[in-house]
Amino acid sequence: MTRPDLRRLFSACDLNRSGLIEFEDFSGVCRELGLSRSQIEPLFQKLDVDSDGSINFSDFTAGFQEVSAVLDLSSIGSEGNQRLARDEFEERFGAGLHYLRSREKLFEFYQQIRASSDYGLNLQYEKLIQELIKDSKVQDMETEKLEQTLRRTEAMADARLAEMEEDVQQQALKLEQKIRGEEQAKLEAKVAEMQKRHESEVTDLQAIIDRMRKLNEELWNSNSKGDVSALKEQLDELTRENEYLRSSLLQSQTEISILEAGLDKCKNELADRLLDQERAKETIHKLTEENEISTNQIQMLQGVKSEIQNGIVDTGYSSVLNGNEESVILNNDDSRQRISEVANWADRYLDSGVSTSQDIVDYSSDEYSDDSHETMHYSYSYVASDTEMPEFKSEVDGLPGTWKPSRPVSRSSSIASSRRRLPAFTSKNTGNAVENSKPDGPLYRLVLAGDAGSGKSSFLLRLCMNEFKGHIPTTLGVDFQMKKLLVDGESATLQIWDTAGQERFRSIAKSYFRKAHGVLLLYDVTSETSFLNVREWIDEIKSSTDFPTPIILIGNKIDLRNELPRTQRGTVLTAHGEKLAMTYNALFCETSAKDGTNVVEAVLHLAREAKKNANIRDSVQPVTKLIAADGKKVLNNCCKT
């Protein structure tokens, strides 16, 4: 090896450029060559001729031939040459090399040209590299401009979406305010009208009371018998007029209750509207996300465009690029189509009005199956007047067995009673549901009556659903259910109407008594007030019917009476209920809707009595004169002034 080559090899081993090779530098070079520490120390001692702890160039030259067989230092020299060549290449072209992507390949090509010692070719190569650097700089500047343009476009799109969202919110708020205003105006108008009517009726009633007082005073002051009889006639007339006004007042209060229920319904619809608006906002958010996806795809297209403009990309890559670009464009079209469809849906939704729900039960004979022998349950909250209720009842009576069940329920069953007070029952038929092979029988209409809180709704729930709920809302108007049972071996359908027990709904209950085949009159055995009002209920039932109607007097909630101490006042004993039932020639039974005691037995017992009277009642067809001489309708049990 020549002396210049030894000099370059020495420089490669001298890592810190001090002119001396220290033991640490020599050890690092040897470890890179795969020598162990036991081999490094003898080699260093051979090269360190003067034993001063470091190797200078003269020591390195003297001991090189001795250690060259063990340590391949020629490779170190070649690595040093490559490092010097790379440093020269980087100094030649400066900082412009970072614009080039294939710097390693260019460096290798530069070494080959330099080794060929062709100066002209070297100059041409340097010019070519400088041109590539310039092109790369221009390409990077264009890319940076495109990125800035993309950022501005994204900012404009975000601003536009924010404006659109704000517009949608404003429109939704205006629509909500408009709906609230309209509903509030309608409600206020109806309430004002009802208040005026109520005030006028109260004024008329007060005037009649004043007239009655004056007539009473004149009656006491008058000694003539003729005057006394005339005053009595006037007093009777005023009394009838007072009763008429009272019934009108109760009807007005009923209408006010209906309006309050309508207001609650409007509130529920408004809540549903707000929920739908929240869903529309979520849809707009999804549209925003899809727009961001589209923006990313546009950015991919711009990146592909920059690759096409780059002169380094070969033709094979271009063919693959065309296929990718077509797929990206197709994806863009699909995403735009989805955005358009969702946007159209949102527009249709925001323009739609408030949906209304149909509260009246639909009746369809095709949808009702004759083979269905399960308990059927129907419920509605319509409160009709005395004039409208007979018409509605006649429509219901004309369609027996055509009710459409709102939901399937379980078959009826009853809990065995520990106390049996109905000796007329036979063991084989008690509590049995209709078998699947039995056809539908006659229809009997039963009415549940009694004071509010006597447990009518719980009684009906136990009968039809075999369930008990501790908290049931108070019945407003009527509730309707159907039940199929075997009555003396014959299939029968029971149409049971649960009437409200409040005083203001008494007129509605009367209209249901007219065509009832039987009445279930309930009272609370823990409430003396409900038991004392039984006489009044029986009088109303008899005055509302043209035929004798079977009545069963039911003492409900016996489970609560058993829990109370016997000495506590306020409870109704069994003997008292039996005595009252015997007075009015009615049936009697005590039940518990909570544990199911005697619930099915009581209904079955009344159904038997209704079946006995059905033939007699159907054979007689009473004619009721509904139109007076002047062509106006006259209310039943109401005087004509």
Give the tens place of pLDDT for each residue, 455-502: 889 999 989 988 888 777 777 767 888 888 888 888 889 999 988 877
Q: What SS3 state is found at 426? A: coil
Place of tokens 């800035």: 148
| Residue pLDDT, tens place only, 549-593 | 999 999 999 998 888 776 566 789 999 999 999 999 999 999 999
Place of tokens 């159904």: 607
Instruction: Report which of residues 418 and 336 the model is more confident about.
Output: 336
| Residue pLDDT, tens place only, 333-386 | 554 444 444 444 444 433 333 333 333 333 333 333 333 333 333 333 333 333
pLDDT attached to residue 294: 87
pLDDT attached to residue 538: 92
| Residue pLDDT, tens place only, 503-561 | 777 778 888 888 889 999 999 999 889 999 999 999 999 988 888 899 999 999 999 88
499: enclosing H helix or E strand: strand 490-499
Which residues have a Cβ under 8 Å from the Cβ of 348 and sit 6 or more positions away? none
pLDDT attached to residue 202: 92
Buried b (16+ CB within 10 A) or exposed e, 204-243: ebeebeeebeebeeeeeeeeeeeeeeebeeeeeebeebbe
Buried b (16+ CB within 10 A) or exposed e, 475-499: bbbbbbbbbbbbbeeebbbbbbbbb
pLDDT attached to residue 32: 67
What average pLDDT does the structure give for the chain?
71
Residues 329 and 325: their CA atoms lie apart, in Å, by: 6
Residue 407 has pLDDT above 50, yes or no: no
Residue 82 has pLDDT above 60, yes or no: no
DSSP 8-class letter at 176: H
Token readout for 450 is: 């009694």
Residue 637 has pLDDT above 50, yes or no: no
Which residues have a Cβ under 8 Å from the Cβ of 156 and sit 6 or more positions away? none
Residues 581 and 561: their CA atoms lie apart, in Å, by: 20
**Percent of the chain beyond pLDDT 90?**
18
Residues 566 and 564: their CA atoms lie apart, in Å, by: 6
Beta partners for residue 480, in sequence order: 378, 497
